[in-house]
Amino acid sequence: EIMLRETYESNPNVLAEALCHDSPLRPRAEQDFGNIHHSTTLTQWLDFLIDSRLVKNITNDGIQKFLVLPVEKRSGANETLFEKHIENLQRHLLKNRYGVDASDKMMQLAQEKKVKKEEEKRRLNKPKRDTHLHSSSKFHNSTKPMLTKLGECCLARYLIDDYRLIQSMLGGEKISNIDLAIAGLDPLDAHPVIQKACTWGNEQHKQECRGDLISMLMRRAKYLDESKGSCSAIVS
């Protein structure tokens, strides 16, 4: 927060725009972005499935499963499906371990316990505690809450390999009649297990999981197509 406040005027847009390819501030901005510990990129997290030197060390009977839990607020939606993905993962793991009947019973008991707990909170009228506050609150919530279109474009292009990896999770297929490969978003070379990202759970969950990943790509597609010119040209 101190770095953002002192160097970038407490404005994430200034940092995001500094990450653009044509920005003279890019080298410094890249270093500062890397120093934000919760900003680890997707490709950094999953480098062991991307870096050929690391992938070659994975044996044939090594990594067999790969699951993702997308956190995506789709256009027009009031909330993400993340909690639903968590519930589906719990059901999936319990089903594999204990069978369908037992997993359904355990999920039902968990839901009943959750409802009972929420009712007890309402009965006691306990105020919701702010146990976790963003560091910007220390400076009177001075950080600007949203990115501009230019900042969004610059950040998306800076993270383009992350979006290419998401494309890889979908198997590199054509999406909604838009060929993202033509739009400059070729799938990232990665271990084949990456394509199993949304192949777990029932059919409804598979579609919801893939739908969230597709939404991530579609919302940024216009920015990720570098053939359309610079971010400044796209948003002007």
Note whether 222 and 234 are within 8 A (CB).
yes
Mean of all residue pLDDT scores within the chain: 81
Q: What is the pLDDT of residue 132?
A: 47
Q: How far apart are CA 35 and CA 42, in angstroms?
A: 16
Q: What percent of the chain has pLDDT over 90?
A: 25
Mean pLDDT of 47-70: 88
Mean pLDDT of 47-72: 88
Tell me the per-residue pLDDT of 106-153, one tens digit each, with 9 for 90 and over. Answer: 878 887 887 888 788 777 775 555 544 444 444 445 545 578 899 999
**What is the CB neighbour count within 10 angstroms for residue 85?**
22
Helix and strand numbers, DSSP H then E, in the chain: 11, 0
Note whether 175 and 44 are within 8 A (CB).
no
pTM over 0.85: no
Residue 213 pLDDT > 50: yes
Q: Give the residue carrying structure tokens 């993702």.
A: 68
Segment of 85-99, 118-132, 177-191, 219-233 carrying the highest mean pLDDT:
219-233
- The set of residues, in sequence order, having a beta carbon less than 8 Å from that of 89 and lying 6+ positions away, is 67, 69, 200, 201
Q: What is the b/e burial string over 121-140, where b = at least 16 CB atoms within 10 angstroms of the residue's CB?
A: eeeeeeeeeeeeeeebeeee
